[in-house]
Structure 1
Amino acid sequence: MTVWDDRLDADERALLTPGRPLDLDRSPDVLVVGGGAIGLAAAVFARRAGLGRVVLIERAPRLAPGASSGNGGAIAPDMHVATDSPEFVAFGRRSRQLYRDLDAEWEHAIGTWPTRWLDIRPAGTFPERSAATGSDQGGPRPLSESDVRELEPDVRLPDGAEARLAEGQLAVDPLRLALALAARAGQVVTGVGLLGVSVHGDRVGTVHTTAGDFTPGALIVATGLVPPPWHRRVPQRWVKGHMLAVAPGPWRLGSVLAGPFGGGTPLPGGGVVCGGTFDEGDRSREVRPEVADPMAKGLATLIPAAADARISHRWCCFRPQIEDRQPVVDRLPEVTNGWFAGGHFTTGIMMAPATGAALAEWAASGRAPDGVSTFTLPPAPLHYPL
């Protein structure tokens, strides 16, 4: 169980498991497949765009399964300035602004909180673009050791380490985000999975599911990885990762600590979420303490007072990665009324609002919106047998 699960009450848990209603709309204007952060955001923005009746289906018993609830809740696009494309950073910053706008409009129902990121690395190992594309473009700026001590009195830089600071970022409890989105996403259904589609000409005509068929006007697929029949020749995989949380202790931490030494995200109340790992080749769904627990030692490398920190939670999840790609926001091949969003890997929470808004704009106008030209699917074969 994640640290976020323990922050829900019984009524909130029930809202995340709506099940299947008796009056299930079989012919919605928009059918969204996938009840993670991306799918929920797509449904919300489809409604905001006036696209008509929206139905969202999720195959798991609960909304926000997998990586959508098993992450650290980071909304930190400026941490990507030195490592990712300008298009990626701009899209992330748009998402961050949408979070602020929605949270204000919804009277803080999402519950984001401000964060600053302290990136600590061995000297000379910051990405080469850091100096050229750092603070002048909103990315992390260098700090001296005395600056770090003043900012975070309980943090100690390892010998020879350097630090950079990115301010103005956000964080969110992923399950509270799912609750806020689900309340505004139309008809939301759990326990219903996608089986396949029937295409008529250049349109998705029928969507086959474990609860029977749907005939939507438009289809948005947000299943993490590209599903059949469009998955052929798409280099994609699930990557397992562990997370953990430590209970509050005799230290104070106001910044997210990042970098190869370790670190974590401070939680309201004093705990810290650490992670995650990249467990190549591990396909099991079991939590492995021998993989997770070293992250607590990494935290103690930077915060000596956390050497005896009590681990309160350990969990794992699988992240969707479409190799050699940034997140994908694109039409489904060979159809005019279908779209796919996925492959967000570790950035699904961060990118959810901008992704949902882009999909809704595309469905409403029929034209690709600005900002998604680099988020395309790999080239498709000439024909997919459907």
Structure 2
Amino acid sequence: MTAALHAVWRDLLGSEDVAALDPGLPDGFGRRPDVLVIGGGIVGVTVAVACQQAGLGQVMVVEAATLGAGATGGAAGLLIPDVHQGSDPDWFVDLARKSLVLWRELEHRYGVGVIDLDWIALEPHPPEFWPPASAEALTAREVAAMVPGLARPSAGLRLPDQGRVNPLLALARLSTSIQGVATGVTVTGVITRRGRITEVATSAGSLMPGVVIFATGGAPALPGLDLDLPGRAIKGHLLVTEPAPLELPGALAPVATPLEDGRLLVGGTLDLSDPTPQVDAEVIASIQAGLRQFLPATADLAVTHAWCCFRPAHPDGLPVVDRVPGLSNAWVTSGHYRTGILMAPITGELLATWINHGLQPPEAVRLDSTRFGSR
């Protein structure tokens, strides 16, 4: 079997959800939205939903390609805030936990496909990780009973009540609730006057929004926009196998995460020195070899999908959620790195609250751009 060199997520969608990812230019394309969100990844679309729920008027999303065409479509879709304990600041992990709660609210309202699962981490753990109070210690014997096919059972931890989502399914379901979504529309520049964005130039003509939110993954670089945030895109590889002859009790780190049909999602590498857009066959082979080492029963499993994506990151690995310096009606969120799917709902809530009330939420203070000396 030859692996498809693209992410698995679109292939798991029905025709209606696939169509929702590329609505094109809608009839009656509004030129004066109250809120214009630039960027159709999971962060941009979730921010738009939050603004709409907050009653901020007509909300429009514009995306240059199709929804989820960037990092969103290549993400693993894991909603596991507790795994960031120790590696990220405590206050950020608290925000991530709040975001998981918001994901479950979105599931209840829109049916975005959140799947509850446990996260089971085998020893040795990364040195920076320290278990939260909710973690359950597991002996090697308990791990062996939970995962009978494990080659070398070791002690571990179980983190209950985590989650997972098909990022493109969530994107499709959320996008259909937004008043205006346009794909294939490229933003080419902005015009500012007296500390406000007054016009946004696009391939579909000019827009005159009340508020602009840039959610383009990395920091936006547009003519007329004076914004300089440090960052880079970090490559990573993932693969999905055909259905496995064993059942995992949850996301098993650092081994694999089970999908609904029994296939295994594996990988999430950090290929820091590889800027090329191609899938590296050697990296995929290494991921597959690691899977076989832990679970010998997977030795004959074919890889059905293998892909790479680029995660936008700021130097400290944390996102920016801030008002654009010098502009009273423009905000930016960028550099979500490993947490874009997880943090999308809380990012939307922070921005919608800020815009609605005119005051920076306390939780957003440590996510502003001043930490880079950019003002």
Normalised by the length of structure 2, the TM-score is 0.93
Q: Contact 2:196 / 2:330 at 8 angstroms: preserved in 1? A: yes
Output the amino acid matched with 1:117.
Answer: W
> Given the alignment of the two structures, is residue 157 of structure 1 paired with residue 152 of structure 2, yes or no?
yes
Q: Contact 1:333 / 1:380 at 8 angstroms: preserved in 2? A: no
Deviation at 1:338, TM superposition (A): 0.9
Hey, what does 1:221 align to over in structure 2?
214
Q: Contact 1:35 / 1:64 at 8 angstroms: preserved in 2? A: yes
Hey, what does 2:115 align to over in structure 1?
113
Match of 1:360 among 342, 352, 356: 352
Hey, what does 1:170 align to over in structure 2?
163
* 1:141-188 alpha-carbon deviations (Å, 9 max, x no partner): 432101211222222436xx5422211101011111011110112200
* 1:310-368 alpha-carbon deviations (Å, 9 max, x no partner): 11111111110111241111111111111111101121110111111111111101111
Q: Which runs of 5+ in 2 are unaligned?
A: 1-5
2:195 and 2:151 map into 1 onto residues whose CA distance is: 60
Q: 1:128 to 1:245 in 2, by over 3 A?
A: closer
1:128 and 1:19 map into 2 onto residues whose CA distance is: 45
Q: Contact 1:244 / 1:293 at 8 angstroms: preserved in 2? A: no
2:30 and 2:250 map into 1 onto residues whose CA distance is: 46
* 1:172-217 alpha-carbon deviations (Å, 9 max, x no partner): 1111101111011220001112222112122111112222211111
* 1:108-144 alpha-carbon deviations (Å, 9 max, x no partner): x21111111112243xx543561xxx242x3x44321
Hey, what does 1:180 align to over in structure 2?
173
Superposition map of 1:174-213 within 5 A: 174-213=167-206
> Given the alignment of the two structures, is residue 127 of structure 1 paired with residue 127 of structure 2, yes or no?
yes
Q: 1:252 to 1:325 in 2, by over 3 A?
A: closer
Q: 1:42 to 1:20 in 2, by over 3 A?
A: same
> Given the alignment of the two structures, is residue 76 of structure 1 paired with residue 80 of structure 2, yes or no?
yes
Q: 1:281 to 1:231 in 2, by over 3 A?
A: farther
Output the amino acid matched with 1:357.
Answer: E
Superposition map of 1:1-386 within 5 A: 1-60=6-65, 62-106=66-110, 109-122=111-124, 126-128=126-128, 130=130, 134-136=131-133, 138=134, 140-157=135-152, 162-228=155-221, 229-232=225-228, 234-259=229-254, 263-377=255-369, 378-379=371-372
Task: Indicate the SS of the match to 1:371.
Answer: helix
User: Runs of 4 or more off by more than 3 Å in structure 1?
Assistant: 378-382
More deviation, 325-334/68-77 = 325-334
Q: Contact 1:152 / 1:255 at 8 angstroms: preserved in 2? A: no
* 1:259-310 alpha-carbon deviations (Å, 9 max, x no partner): 3xxx121001100111212222323222222212221221222212112221
Q: 1:326 to 1:203 in 2, by over 3 A?
A: same
1:49 and 1:242 map into 2 onto residues whose CA distance is: 37
Q: Contact 2:61 / 2:181 at 8 angstroms: preserved in 1? A: yes
1:163 and 1:360 map into 2 onto residues whose CA distance is: 40
Normalised by the length of structure 1, the TM-score is 0.90
* 1:80-102 alpha-carbon deviations (Å, 9 max, x no partner): 11221111111111110011112
2:132 and 2:347 map into 1 onto residues whose CA distance is: 26
Task: Indicate the SS of the match to 1:346.
Answer: helix
1:368 and 1:231 map into 2 onto residues whose CA distance is: 19
More deviation, 344-353/207-216 = 207-216
2:308 and 2:64 map into 1 onto residues whose CA distance is: 19
1:308 and 1:129 map into 2 onto residues whose CA distance is: 33
Same amino acid, percent of matched pairs: 37
2:61 and 2:373 map into 1 onto residues whose CA distance is: 27
Q: Contact 2:236 / 2:268 at 8 angstroms: preserved in 1? A: yes
What is the number of residues matched between the two proteins? 366
Output the amino acid matched with 1:238.
Answer: A
Output the amino acid matched with 1:214.
Answer: L
Hey, what does 2:3 align to over in structure 1?
none
Q: CA RMSD in A?
A: 1.7
Q: 1:281 to 1:230 in 2, by over 3 A?
A: farther
2:60 and 2:361 map into 1 onto residues whose CA distance is: 23
Task: Indicate the SS of the match to 1:330.
Answer: strand
Q: 1:4 to 1:281 in 2, by over 3 A?
A: same
Q: 1:381 to 1:268 in 2, by over 3 A?
A: closer
2:126 and 2:14 map into 1 onto residues whose CA distance is: 42
2:190 and 2:128 map into 1 onto residues whose CA distance is: 46
Q: Which runs of 5+ in 1 are unaligned?
A: none
Output the amino acid matched with 1:127.
Answer: P
